[in-house]
Amino acid sequence: VTFHLLSVFQNSKSAQGLVGLRNLGNTCFMNSILQCLSNTQSLRDYCLHNSHRRDLNNNSRTNTALMEEFAKLIQTMWTSSSSEAVSPSEFKTQIQRYAPRFVGYNQQDAQEFLRFLLDGLHNEVNRVTVRPRGNMEDFDHFDEEKGKKMWAKYLEREDSKIVDLFVGQLKSSLTCSECGYCSTVFDPFWDLSLPIAKKGYGEVSLMDCMRLFTKEDVLDGDEKPTCYRCKARRRCMKKFTVQKFPKILVLHLKRFSEARVRTSKLSTFVNFPMKDLDLREFASDRSSSAVYNLYAVSNHSGTTMGGHYTAYCCNPKNGEWYTYNDSRYFSISPASCCDFPVSHPPPPPPSLLLLHLPPTHASLKMLPIPHLTHIL
């Protein structure tokens, strides 16, 4: 079966993942994310090679139906010679069994859907069949060694192809302003939710949003934590850095702001380079590999009360960009991904950005991504 799938994929000119997905009723959020994941080359190959089958974990609470239906859907999207849109109904049946919040046909949030989907896929192909007992202990080591030990402890429980691709490690530092003692905590992350920076003039860049996310915050008043050394509540400085960058970095732009009366949507224009996004200034260790290329975007148009999701994706087989709108798709120029104020009408503002680290080995040659100065 694997050989047949690969031969069809390699020999068919039409089988390039260029296919729409039927909207089953307010499922545009799901279709947008599925198109982004379909164009995630490593995950696509994992499904096309049927590599997921050797990792299926029969101890999973949902058995392995979600991973199998997801793989079938990806295989259909990449091997079908038909121009007809594919129905993701069987996949939807399984994702709503795993996460009942997706039962029915209400509008949902794409970021939440991606979180639940990756968690479900991970659980079904987790290489760890029996998790070690006890909580993850804290280590009294130098930060770099402590981070590595905490990551190793995490992998003793959570180890899958999904984790290999999508999970990074965040470092949180808390420094007492009284005695200078610094405590550190290391946590895994599947995505980073970035606040959108506010500027009185000029354009907002993604780097502005990253700097706002990682800027040092003062914890005072009711927020004062207890200092480990002082044994008393003290004013502290808190700061985030990235200890370990994932191969696939998912950035979520927090476009919905909650107020006392209602939630509003921020349509701020955010500048973004499609290639060579250098995030090393946010790394705990500046020598980290943290220069990313964009390959997929999930867009949301509309308001907090209702809207529509679409996707822009760079096809990993031909290097071209396409926009996906449920059943429809068409080729676009990279410049079309921009959300410039001068556009009439402007494209929908991105809410999720998927970026990959370029491979370091020549045998894993990546198709070139067209250059673009901004995506928003």
CATH number at residue 207: 3.90.70.10
The answer to whether residue 375 sits within a structural domain is no
337 is catalytic: no
pLDDT at 374: 29
28 given a catalytic annotation: yes
Contacts of 146 (CB under 8 A, 6+ apart): 139, 140, 184, 186
Under DSSP, is residue 85 helix (H, G, I), strand (E, B) or coil?
Answer: coil
pLDDT of residue 143: 76
**Is the four-CA dihedral 43, 44, 50, 51 of positive or negative sign?**
negative
Please check whether residue 259 lies inside any domain of the structure. Answer: yes
- Could you tell me the CA-to-CA distances from 65 to 33, 69, 94 in Å, in that order? 19, 6, 7
218 part of a folded domain: yes
**Given 36, 47, 122, 308, the catalytic residue:** 308
**pLDDT at residue 2, rounded to an integer:** 56
Q: Are 48 and 75 in contact (CB under 8 A)?
A: yes
State which residues form the domain around 92: 2-130+142-364
Looking at residue 282, what DSSP letter applies?
G
Q: What is the pLDDT of residue 144?
A: 76
Any domain includes 372? no
In order, the DSSP letters of 56-80 are --TTSTTTTHHHHHHHHHHHHHHH-
**Number of domains present in the structure of the chain:** 1
The pLDDT score that the predictor gives to residue 241 is 96
Smallest Cα–Cα separation from 322: which of 308, 307, 311? 311
Examine residue 75 and state whether it is found in any structural domain, yes or no: yes
Residue ranges, the chain, pLDDT below 70: 1-15, 60-62, 134-142, 200-202, 257-264, 304, 338-348, 360-376
Q: What's the half-sphere exposure (Cβ side, CA atoms, 13 Å) at 114?
A: 29
Q: How far is the first Cα of the chain from the last one, in angstroms, to the nearest whole number?
A: 42
- Whether residue 66 lies inside any domain: the answer is yes
Which DSSP letter does residue 132 get?
Answer: P
> How do the residues of the chain divide into helix, strand and coil, expressed in percent and rounded to 5?
30, 25, 45
Specify the pLDDT at position 345.
56
**Catalytic one among 28, 36, 47, 227?**
28
Torsion region of 68: left, alpha or beta (phi above 0 gives left; psi -120 to 50 gives alpha): alpha
pTM, full prediction: 0.87
pLDDT of the residue at 63: 82
